[in-house]
């Protein structure tokens, strides 16, 4: 295992874009969005930074039982798409934590523009050393985050620790397939040095070792393949839109998307939607 500090720096370098807030605001304006009346739908092309976007978020929320009484911890909250979606749709409180400072600042700015600052908050931090007391949250949530974290046992132990007894863990993640190594670059990593994928069996075992009872497990890989085929075809025909993941990752996102489609189609990666209980 690599030294975590070096991994963290590599991950931060992959995601950080100087003056991201300005880039996002400019992209929204170019797309014709009203910055005084932003909705989750307006922001979905850029801030639901995971395969199948908002649809996947809402499916996982339904499976987990999100409602207005819950306090959710969104680990790897990015620029806040999931947290704002959950707060907007369900009226729940969401605390987001992300390794990348610029993402946290941009997330807070967008929450303020949407009038959600009372429900959502963000802080910079490490998922393997969460800055929260034991039993703080009703739901711990993570979408497409663990791929960048080498110390998986510590990650899931921390998730368990901050959950209240009976609390739920919601996971939507990319896992290792059985058809060979990942082709890079991909949206979560430009090189293998910052990519750490588990197999489905490894994930299941680590969750149980951390103390979780697995309540539901589904494989949305086929839907992910279809989504990426459509995305790549749209980019090929129309070019990059004003709003999209390329605003976060830069122009090489087209190569990442092409590789991601190939990784999915060849079985080099698979997806899992998992709900587990403390």
How large is the average pLDDT for residues 227-256? 73
pLDDT at position 52 is 86
pLDDT at position 9 is 54
- Residues 6+ away with beta carbon under 8 Å from 87: 93, 94, 116, 119, 120
Instruction: Report how far apart, in Å, the C-alpha atoms of 264 and of each of 35, 98, 180, 270, 272 are.
Output: 36, 26, 11, 7, 13
pLDDT at position 241 is 67
The DSSP letter of residue 189 is B
Looking at per-residue pLDDT, the higher value among 43 and 150 belongs to: 150
Looking at per-residue pLDDT, the higher value among 224 and 18 belongs to: 224
Band (195; pLDDT cuts 50, 70, 90): very high
**pLDDT tens digits, one per residue of 145-165:** 999 999 999 999 999 999 999
How large is the average pLDDT for residues 25-31? 84
Count of all residues that appear for the chain in the document:
278
Band (2; pLDDT cuts 50, 70, 90): very low
**pLDDT tens digits, one per residue of 226-241:** 887 787 777 777 776 6
Average pLDDT over all residues of the chain: 88
pLDDT at position 37 is 87
Whether the per-residue pLDDT at 110 is higher than 70: the answer is yes
Band (57; pLDDT cuts 50, 70, 90): very high
pLDDT at position 247 is 63
Q: How far apart are CA 249 and CA 188, in angstroms?
A: 9
- Residues 6+ away with beta carbon under 8 Å from 45: 31, 53, 241, 243, 244
Q: Tell me, yes or no, if the pTM score tops 0.85.
A: yes
How large is the average pLDDT for residues 259-265? 91
Q: How far apart are CA 176 and CA 271, in angstroms?
A: 8
Band (179; pLDDT cuts 50, 70, 90): very high
**pLDDT tens digits, one per residue of 61-71:** 999 999 999 99
């Amino acid at each position: 295992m690599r030294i975590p500090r070096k991994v963290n720096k590599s991950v931060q370098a992959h995601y950080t874009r100087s003056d991201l807030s300005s880039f996002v605001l400019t992209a929204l304006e170019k797309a014709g969005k009203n910055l005084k009346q932003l909705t989750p739908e307006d922001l979905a092309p850029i801030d639901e930074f995971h395969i199948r976007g908002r649809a996947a978020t809402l499916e996982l929320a339904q499976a987990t039982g999100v409602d207005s009484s819950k306090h959710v911890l969104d680990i790897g909250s990015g620029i806040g798409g999931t947290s704002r979606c959950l707060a907007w749709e369900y009226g729940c409180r969401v605390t987001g934590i992300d390794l990348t400072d610029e993402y946290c600042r941009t997330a807070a700015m967008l929450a303020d523009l949407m009038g959600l600052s009372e429900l959502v908050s963000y802080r910079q931090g490490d998922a393997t050393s969460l800055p929260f007391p034991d039993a703080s949250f009703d739901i711990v949530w993570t979408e497409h985050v663990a791929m960048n974290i080498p110390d998986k046992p510590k990650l899931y132990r921390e998730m368990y620790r901050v959950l209240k007894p009976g609390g739920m863990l919601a996971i939507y993640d990319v896992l290792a397939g059985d058809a060979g190594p990942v082709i890079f670059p991909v949206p979560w990593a430009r090189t293998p040095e910052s990519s750490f994928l588990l197999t489905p069996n490894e994930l299941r075992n680590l969750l149980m070792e951390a103390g979780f009872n697995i309540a539901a497990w589904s494989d949305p890989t086929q839907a992910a393949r279809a989504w990426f085929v459509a995305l790549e075809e749209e980019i090929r025909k129309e070019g990059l839109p004003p709003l999209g993941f390329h605003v976060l990752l830069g122009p090489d996102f087209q190569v990442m998307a092409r590789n991601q489609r190939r990784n999915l189609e060849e079985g080099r990666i698979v997806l899992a939607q998992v709900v587990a209980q403390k």
